[in-house]
Every structure is written in structure tokens, then in C-alpha cells.
Amino acid sequence: MAQCAAAAATSGDVNGDGKTKRKVAIITGITGQDGSYLAEFLLAKGMRRVILVFCNVLTVTRLNTEIDLGNAAHDDITIPYPTVQCVWQISFDLAEYTADVDGVGTLRLLDAVKTCGLTDTVRFYQASTSELYGKVQEIPQKETTPFYPRSPYGAAKLYAYWIVVNFREAYNLFAVNGILFNHESPRRGSNFVTRKISRSVAKIHLGQLQCFSLGNLDSKRDWGHAKDYVEAMWLMLQQEEPIDFVIATGEVHSVREFVEKAFKHVGKTIVWEGKNEEEVGRCQETGEIHVKVDPKYYRPTEVDFLQGDSSKALKIIGWKPRVTFEELVKEMVDADIELMRNNPNA
């Protein structure tokens, strides 16, 4: 999935009460969890107008308009905007499209800022990613860790990262990269492994499903909550100077552990049997197999371990995560139980 969210705001800072004085924000990738949470966050901060760009549609939402961003429902002004597209699924089969959206797409936005003569008034945030580190060269990964992307998506985001740096240095544009490690929520797309787990566990709990398949159970990630990470985006844009930051919890958990925590929340204990592609997760209480391993979910080039060091963000912008890993898993499972109970085919 593309992390194509970017925010650009007009000049101004914040009022003494913490409310923003910026008049307009533009957010791309609004159908994703980050875009929707960011829009809500900015409106709560006093942003007068938020322009939301998603799937060839440009939506303008005015202050105090009641919106349900979690369901991408907006009832204000909607205008066709054919030059902007979202990516719903990223894979090696979509490598060229990935490069165009996640790499060159960032260049188009930056070039538009320059062409319109807005380099002195716009503040630009680029949604960078821990996938830049790929085959990790250092543990934990921080701002100075060498990049080694292991997918077309990671390579495209590497171009986006460096084109932001280039425009910042060449045109004195306030442009920053937020190198965000994995962050999840009940709004996460169903094609992401965490949401696949929470939805499947919810279905099993409700008797709608017996078993589901995953890829590499031992892949380890630094997982946080999207709401916390959206706050970090905003904080980065409030600084006097543009600075790139790693945003992460500093904790690492495996896919296997996510599965175990999710099932534990619904009263099931998963025990693992077998090895490699023959491994299964069996419910200790009922004896039923609920998890299988399917090689089709393996990556062509695996990213095995990501762990971020956000000490720079803590020191300079005062950011730190609030939601724990266990709280995140519980929230996602509870939300999907409610969703599947009301709409089993969702």
C-alpha cells in the first residue's frame, strides 16, 4: 500500500492556545488511515479549511463540517481531480506504477509549489517510511542509518525522500520527511497484515471463519498507533527549521506475537505446531487450527527486522508514543468484532 500522504499548509504558526493559524492544508491519500486521522487532527487544531485528495476526487471540507473520515464520507464540495491517484495495493507486479505515484508523485507536488511561487509560504510534509531501511545496516535505525530498500515501494520512497531534501536545500522550502515506522489502527487497510489478523480473529470469534493464512510469522516490526504518528507530523511542521525525523516506538514485535495477542484478547490461546511452511497455529482450548502459513504471502526480498530510534524526535519536538502494543491490538480486534457483527461481508 502506498503511503502517499503529504500535507502542505500556508504560512503561519500556532496561537498561544495551541490552535493553528494556518488557513489551508492539503492532504493526499485521504482514503488511508493517516490521511483521515490527520484531517481530523488539523480540524481540531483550528485549521480553517482542509483539502482532501483521494482516488481522483478532490474534496474541500470547511471548518466545523461534520465528517466521518473513518468511512471516507464527506458531504461538502466534491470536484473531479483526474491528475491525482491513490494506490490501493503495492507489489512487485506494480513496480512502475509504484514509482510513478510514490516517487515522481512527490516531485510533482514539490514542483507545483515552486512553479506557483509558494516556496516562502508553504510547509510540506512527505510521508516517508521505515521501508527505506529494508535490509537493515544498523539496529536500531535512526536518521543517520544508511538506507537499503528491498522493494519497488521502498525504492520509490527513497527517491521521494531525497527529492524533498533537494528542494529544501535548493529553494529554501520548508519541506520535511517523516520516516514513520509501522503504525496501525482500526482504519488500516484490510490488505495489511495487522488488519488481516484483527479481522480474521474477529470473524473466528463470531463463528464466521475457522482459519486464515499468513506469510512470514517471524517478521519483526516496530508497531505504533496511527493517531500518535499523525501528531508527530503536525509537530514537525511547527518547528522553526525543517528537520527530518524517525518516528517509532522503539519496541519490536513479530507477526506471530501479534497473532497471539489478538487471539488472547478473545479468550483463545494459540500454540504453534510444525515448522516452516507446515507450521500451524492451533487453539489450545478447542484443538481447532486457526492459522496456517502460505508461501504465496512471502516477499520476494524479505524485510525481517525494523526497529526505530526516535530519540531525536523526543529531544527536539517532544514527541513520544502513547498507545502501547497491547492496547493497539485490543483496539483493532474490538473494532473488527463490532464491524463483523454488523456487517459480516465487510
Give the residue-averaged pLDDT of 37-47: 88
Does residue 229 have an active-site annotation? no
pLDDT at 92: 57
pLDDT at 22: 54
Does residue 129 have an active-site annotation? yes
Between 23-37, 51-65, 118-132, 293-307, the lowest mean confidence (pLDDT) is in: 51-65
**Looking at the predicted structure, is the pLDDT value of residue 20 above 60?**
no
pLDDT digits (tens, 9 = 90+) for 302-322: 888 999 999 999 999 999 999
pLDDT at 43: 86
pLDDT digits (tens, 9 = 90+) for 187-244: 999 889 999 999 999 999 999 999 999 999 999 999 999 999 999 999 999 999 999 9
Which one from 61, 98, 106, 129 is the annotated catalytic residue? 129
pLDDT at 28: 83
For residues 308 and 81, the model is more confident at 308
pLDDT digits (tens, 9 = 90+) for 238-250: 999 999 999 999 9
Give the residue-averaged pLDDT of 40-69: 58
Which one from 131, 184, 231, 260 is the annotated catalytic residue? 131
Does residue 153 have an active-site annotation? yes
Which one from 153, 161, 184, 229 is the annotated catalytic residue? 153
**Looking at the predicted structure, is the pLDDT value of residue 93 above 80?**
no
Q: What percent of the chain has pLDDT over 90?
A: 66
**Looking at the predicted structure, is the pLDDT value of residue 261 above 50?**
yes
Q: What percent of the chain has pLDDT over 70?
A: 81
Q: What is the 3-state secondary structure (H, E, C) of the chain?
A: CCCCCEEEECCCCECCCCCECCCEEEEECCCCHHHHHHHHHHHHCCCCEEEEEECCEEEEEECCCCCEHHHCECCCEEEECCCCCCCCCCCHHHHHHHHHHHHHHHHHHHHHHHHCCCCCCCEEEEEEEHHHCCCCCCCCECCCCCCCCCCHHHHHHHHHHHHHHHHHHHHCCEEEEEEECCEECCCCCCCCHHHHHHHHHHHHHCCCCCCEEECCCCCEECCEEHHHHHHHHHHHHCCCCCCCEEECCCCCEEHHHHHHHHHHHCCCCEEEECCHHHCEEEECCCCCEEEEECHHHCCCCCCCECCECCHHHHHHHCCCCCCCHHHHHHHHHHHHHHHHHHCCCC
Per-residue confidence band for 266, with pLDDT thresholds at 50, 70 and 90 = very high
Between 6-10, 71-75, 153-157, the lowest mean confidence (pLDDT) is in: 71-75
